[in-house]
Amino acid sequence: MKTKLLLIAILFSSFAYSQTTLTLGTETSSSATRGPFQRSSSSSSSVYSRASMLYSATELASLPSSATISQINFDLGSTNIITASGDATMTVYMKNSSATEVVALDSSWDDAIAGATIVGTYTFNTTNNFPGAEGFMSFVLSSGFNYTGGALEIAVDWDCSNLIPADPGQPNLLFSDNGSLNWHWSPTANQSLNYRAGSSSAPSTLNQRKAERVNTQIVYTGGTTPPAVGQVIGEFPEMDGGMEMQTADDTMSSAGSCQIDTAQTEWTVSSTGNSAVREMTDDASLARTGTFSAAWAVNPGSNNVRMQSPSPTNPTIQTDTEYTVQYFYSAPTDPGNDLDAGIYLNNTSSGVAGNTTDVTPFAANTYTKAYRTITTGSVFNASNWAVARLDGDDNGYTDTVRIDDFVVYSGAYDDSAPSDPTSGTYANNSGTATIGWTAPAGGVDGGGYVVFKYTTMPNADNDPNQNGIYQFGSTTTNGTDGLTGTVVYIGTDTNFTETYSAGNYYKIYAVDKAFNYSGEIVVSDATLGLAETDITDFRMYPNPAKEYVIIEANTLEITSIVMYDVLGKKVLSQDKLTNNRIDVSDLNNGMYFLKIQSNGNSITKKLIIE
């Protein structure tokens, strides 16, 4: 398949981290006893404070698992600043949690911070002071905190005992005006704050528990896209046409009139008694795509047996509507008109089925694409199926037939691929790779996108099965050199994230409702390998070139050079340079990509040959 290799605009530039801010709480009430630490007034002798705050999993539902928290902002509700000499210190702890409420009343401080990580220590004085204005006050973490999902506990240890008041006669006047530090707060659905202040020493227990907490902003980067489960895209994903969500079983269950009004959630046969074979198989050597496929055969002398899909519920199959049932089958002998396709929309009655049309000539024990376009019946029941049907022993056909990549879509048979996605992008943000693209001009038509990851530069023909129904984690070894491509994204969004790992290539396909695959684009991190300070050590000329290219690397040692054409085919490879030259006289005119390895890193440059 034609490949468009995109050497992204970030070729020789560093990435700006894309930060997102999650705001929790927007109320404007203010208090000295709702914040990360407590300093009530100039009459208070409390110079120590410790607090534990819980942010529940419900509150953090939009915070991606594996996001990196880089900053915490607390909503200051006063304008007072430090007027005393000396330093005050604040230490912030964080830990992932499964708790639904803050630590219990009278919990020890040691329990509150058990398992937590110190993410920042901050010093305040008259030089590095409070802002003197209300609003969110930022605390940049000294090291990013990896959020793993669920709840988050933040504990704050405050100590201003080393502040020395300007007026010895007012020993507690450490801040301007009334001496308090107030915080804007909001009520919470759960007990979210537990704190205690102390005058002679840091408190060892926490004894003030509230369902009220300072308004907080969590600033984060990254977060990986959770893996999709099952078919995901297409008009009826619940049918699980790739069968990858099924359970291996050599005696599949049957479903019929006894299941009326109950949507079926697994593949079934219409009769166990009429079936000589009825198996759901987890075996990549038997499947067309992935590892699962289904096989069945009719007992000699028996009537038809249907292989039946799960019942789609969202959306449902509509009455009196044209649909195409499409699948791939394999058999030792040609079933001919004994193999049908159809939809039984009202349990066992009102079924519409008929002979399939083979798209390619039948070959024994090789998958053949077949389809049938039908119009559904007028009566609907929650228990319904799309089916592949063997007519039975009427014509003496009792061989086993195996099917895979089963799909139903509205309208006539469709074998037109969607347009290609364009404008691929790649970014490495603090160890999280973001891969994106622009939707094609047309043709996706109820489908989405499938992305395969390769650990080496894929060839143009390293492609998935056309009409193949994959799931996250499925692999393909099609094409030159049998390179393994692994599905790392299936969905309808035009970007996804995963944990960054150097040296990956991503083939991105648009897929329509019939699982026709577009041509691909390829994005890669191959352009990210060398530090920006090393780029000036490379010179490549002439460009355009005719007979040779000179590469000057100065102090860097070149360990390999590989050249690819625009289809991703390797056209040249060598481990070292002779006189700093590469002979390109035998290559056709056109654009090429030169990947240069140095000290375990790499850089890719575009070369024109005339």
Q: What is the CATH number of the domain that holds 499?
A: 2.60.40.10
- Ranges 24-33, 166-175, 438-447, 568-577, most confident: 24-33
Residue with the bigger pLDDT between 228 and 437: it is 437
15: pLDDT strictly greater than 50: no
**Number of separate domains in the chain:** 4
528: pLDDT strictly greater than 70: no
**How many beta carbons lie within 10 A of that of residue 486, not counting itself?**
16
Residues 57 and 153 grouped into a single domain: yes
Question: Is 23 inside any structural domain?
Answer: no
Q: Which of 495, 526, 557 is the last residue of a domain?
A: 526
Provide, rounded to the nearest whole percent, the portion of the chain with pLDDT above 70.
Answer: 91
pLDDT computed for residue 356 by the predictor: 96
Question: Is 1 inside any structural domain?
Answer: no
Question: Is 417 inside any structural domain?
Answer: no
Question: Is 231 inside any structural domain?
Answer: no
Each as own residue / partner, the long-range contacts of residues 498-502 (CB below 8 Å, 24 or more positions apart, any chain) are 498/224, 498/225, 498/432, 498/433, 498/435, 499/66, 499/224, 499/431, 499/432, 499/433, 500/428, 500/431, 500/432, 500/433, 500/525, 501/433, 502/528, 502/529
Question: Is 406 inside any structural domain?
Answer: yes
Residues 112 and 54 grouped into a single domain: yes
pLDDT single digits (tens) 120-143: 999 999 999 999 999 999 999 998
pLDDT computed for residue 578 by the predictor: 78
pLDDT computed for residue 551 by the predictor: 84
CB 352 within 8 A of CB 314: no
Using CA atoms, how far apart are residues 307 and 264, in angstroms rounded to an integer? 13
Residue with the bigger pLDDT between 428 and 445: it is 445
pLDDT single digits (tens) 39-66: 888 888 999 999 999 999 999 987 887 7
Question: Is 588 inside any structural domain?
Answer: yes
Residues 66 and 173 grouped into a single domain: yes
Residues 116 and 258 grouped into a single domain: no
Q: What is the pTM of this model?
A: 0.60
CB 437 within 8 A of CB 521: yes
pLDDT computed for residue 415 by the predictor: 93
pLDDT single digits (tens) 183-202: 999 999 999 999 999 999 99
Residues 185 and 313 grouped into a single domain: no
Residues 56 and 126 grouped into a single domain: yes
pLDDT computed for residue 536 by the predictor: 44
453: pLDDT strictly greater than 70: yes
pLDDT single digits (tens) 486-505: 999 999 988 888 888 888 99
pLDDT computed for residue 602 by the predictor: 59
Query: Of the given ranges (42-51, 332-341, 553-562), which has the lowest mean pLDDT?
Result: 553-562
- Grouping H, G, I as helix, E, B as strand and the rest as coil, residue 519 is coil
Q: Which of 526, 560, 590 is the last residue of a domain?
A: 526
Taking residues 567-577, what's their average pLDDT? Answer: 78
561: pLDDT strictly greater than 60: yes
CA proximity to 71, closest of 222, 214, 221, 219: 219
Question: Is 127 inside any structural domain?
Answer: yes
For residue 105, the 8-state DSSP code is T
pLDDT computed for residue 347 by the predictor: 83
Domain region containing 184: 32-222
Residues 512 and 552 grouped into a single domain: no
Using CA atoms, how far apart are residues 454 and 478, in angstroms rounded to an integer? 12
Helices first, then strands: H and E counts in the chain? 2, 42
Residues 48 and 162 grouped into a single domain: yes
Residues 257 and 280 grouped into a single domain: yes
Residues 185 and 283 grouped into a single domain: no
Q: Which of 526, 549, 578 is the last residue of a domain?
A: 526
CATH number at residue 307: 2.60.120.260
pLDDT single digits (tens) 65-99: 778 899 999 999 999 999 999 999 999 999 999 99
Q: What is the mean pLDDT of the chain?
A: 88
pLDDT single digits (tens) 313-322: 999 999 999 9
34: pLDDT strictly greater than 50: yes
pLDDT computed for residue 132 by the predictor: 94
Residues 434 and 508 grouped into a single domain: yes
Q: What is the largest CA-CA distance in the chain?
A: 109
pLDDT single digits (tens) 210-256: 999 999 999 987 666 767 788 999 999 999 999 999 999 999 999 99
Taking residues 341-360, what's their average pLDDT? Answer: 90
Residues 274 and 195 grouped into a single domain: no
Query: Of the given ranges (152-166, 179-193, 297-311, 541-555), which has the lowest mean pLDDT?
Result: 541-555
Residue with the bigger pLDDT between 529 and 284: it is 284
Question: Is 132 inside any structural domain?
Answer: yes
531: pLDDT strictly greater than 60: no
CATH number at residue 570: 2.60.40.3080
